[in-house]
Chains A and B, each alone.
Chain A
Amino acid sequence: MIQYVVDGLVNGSIIALGAVGLSITYNVLRFANFAQGEILAIGAYMSMALIVLMGVGIGSIGPVSFGWPLLVSIAFSIVLTSVTVLLVDWMLFRVLRRRSASRITFIIAAFGLSLIFRNIITLVAGADQMFLSFYIPKAIPVIGNFKVVPDDVVVLIITAICVVVLHSFLTSTTVGKKMRAVAENPVLAMVNGINVKSVIRWSWVIGASLSAIAGTLHAHVTQLDPEMGFELILPMFAALIVGGVTNVYGAVLGGFLIGLTEAFAVSMDLSAYRGAIAFLIMIVVLILRPQGILGEKERDD
């Protein structure tokens, strides 16, 4: 049972980090980014590319089966994923913003983009599964009979660090404060002298960086394949809605809830329905509390 909980938390970490990216685009750019799953996948494949190029495996630190090569590749992936996303924003979403296109147009564009990304991955890396390493999770005893897989613990620690860094970024830095202002009222933010274009770029970079981390960790604990983004997008949306779309910490909470529920479903032998379970929870929340657990009622704008 304890293993299911740990699995749920690890899976939840990845969903949570991805959902934070969704939350930022949802609140700053104001649309549901259907390409978010593929941004995670791009992050994972970028790391994979560097690990293949370096050819030294993923290293190890003590009982943890990955070391500096994986961390270096995550850093590399953060940069390249951010650049990719900024480029796509510049080519596509910027043009739509300039034309004051409707929100639906943005969503459709993102949906089309997800398909393009997914198939570019297939085209470049092939449709087959790939693995970052020959990692086989091995639990070690911590206290008495209580065993955990060291890598799982590290994934949780990395996620915790990301959330703390994100929190201090949003509350203590000027860019973070500007971002919250734009999220709440873009016109008022503009007349406060905030460069909304720069805030938008920052939002993409933060979303892409968290996605690169989440995608790589996901690739490490499971595997890579072109469908990985597609499989993650519904749980991420569910996390966003369950936690509350207007609250970035809601996305984190929602991520863990969805991760744990999925693990619970697996323990009940319902793994075939994993995707549908995230969806069911989402629907229940939409019926009972449409603003989500931590969300506030949205002013429609």
Chain B
Amino acid sequence: MVSSFSNVNSGREMLKVSNLVAGYRRDLPIVIDVSMEVYEGEILTLLGPNGAGKSTLIKGICGLVEVISGNVVFQGVEISNLETYEIIERRVAYVPQTQNVFAKLSVSHNLDLGAISNVKAYEERLEKVFMLFPDLWKFKDTSAGKLSGGQRQMLALGRALMADPILLLIDEPSAGLAPILRNQVFQQVVEIRESGVTVIMVEQNARAALSVSDRGIILANGRLRRVQNSKELLEDPEIAEIYFGAGPTVRAS
């Protein structure tokens, strides 16, 4: 399925990353000299082999790793020197790949915490999240640690949406899910975008991810290799060989 949002450049520029160098330690940069733009209303997928720096790039955007040099400008304001909570306050949300729910707390408690930085229109948003993820309503009193993998991923997304973000960063939403659940998650990402949220996601399931996104970015060894429309990437024989050759991508770890 190719996204309906085809003419990506018509969107306003929302995020601009310039010559970003980032990593966990100053002497060990993982993302090297990456520049890119993200447009309002698009779904952008970051692809690349393990260790390419995809996750570190989105962590750099939301202040979870050190920005060694370069900068990140979100809606005209530089955010690369801000604390994570200050970036979140500017309506950026981030969903980690693992440990992305408070396992000891109930589903509704998790959702409450999602809204802790932005309490206005809480009821309305809660309703929206339950509409998008009806399962969460069913299990709202269950502790998050007892949920299945798919439900947990929904909670992680729902929790992030409770902060009413305009930019959502998702780290491998389909990791560890059964194929049928994967497609469901990607469908939900599309629905989230339809509600007016710009999405950047890191993915290993390149084909499925590209088929719901507008553009793809390919990273290797921390550097940006290609930025292209998803459609073009899907049709590119070189990309097909690397990423779709052996059917579903086999994860190394």
- A residues with CB within 8 A of B: 100, 174, 177-178, 180-181, 184-185, 187-197, 296, 299
Contact = CB atoms under 8 A, between A and B. Distances in A.
B62 A191 contact: yes
Given A178-B116, A190-B64, A196 B85 contact: yes
The bracket for how many chain B residues form the interface is 20 to 34
User: Among the interface residues B89, B113, B163, which one has the most CB atoms of the partner chain A within 10 A?
Assistant: B113
Contacts of B113: 177, 181, 189, 192, 194
B232 to A, nearest CB: 32
A100 B83 CA distance: 16
B83 A195 contact: yes
A177 B85 CA distance: 16
20 contacts: A174-B116, A180-B105, A184-B104, A184-B105, A185-B102, A185-B103, A188-B96, A189-B113, A190-B64, A190-B84, A190-B88, A191-B62, A191-B94, A192-B88, A192-B113, A192-B163, A193-B84, A193-B89, A193-B163, A194-B116
A73 to B, nearest CB: 36
Nearest to B169: A191
Contacts of B100: 188
B93 to A, nearest CB: 7
Contacts, number: 65
A195 B89 CA distance: 10
B83 A192 contact: no
Contacts of A100: 24
Interface string B97-138: 001111111000000111011100000000000000000000
Given A177-B112, A177-B116, A181-B113, A190 B85 contact: yes
B86 to A, nearest CB: 8
B114 to A, nearest CB: 6
B159 interface: yes
Contacts of A174: 116
A188 B102 contact: yes
